[in-house]
Amino acid sequence: MRKYGIETALDLKSKSLAFLKEHFGKSGAYFYGIARGIDERQVRPDRIRKSVGAEDTFAEDINDLEGATAELKPLAEKVWRYCEARGIGGKTVTKSRKG
């Protein structure tokens, strides 16, 4: 998406349905709807969870490793407690980049 100038949800919402279909095929219609809060997929509350996460919103951006590490620790501990309480483990940790 970055190749087409799409880095945030607002960027995605600014693109037309025709543009998204042209560049992303069938997924274009999905991207168009999801950027507008339209999601026709059936809710499946009993499906097996595939990921666990924790997040926080900060009043100011954190731009240094020491500050980020300090803020990351409580989030990692929250995820760990969740997993430990349910007897589950994992094999991959990923970073989500929100624009």
pLDDT confidence bin for 91, thresholds 50/70/90: confident
CB contact at 8 A, 4 and 23 = yes
**Total-model pTM:** 0.49
pLDDT confidence bin for 51, thresholds 50/70/90: confident
pLDDT confidence bin for 99, thresholds 50/70/90: very low
Quote the pLDDT of residue 77. Answer: 92
User: Mean per-residue pLDDT for 31-49?
Assistant: 91
User: Mean per-residue pLDDT for 43-70?
Assistant: 89
CB contact at 8 A, 28 and 22 = yes
Q: What is the dihedral of CA 34, 31, 52, 46, to 10 degrees?
A: 60
- Which residue ranges make up each domain of the chain? 2-34, 50-88
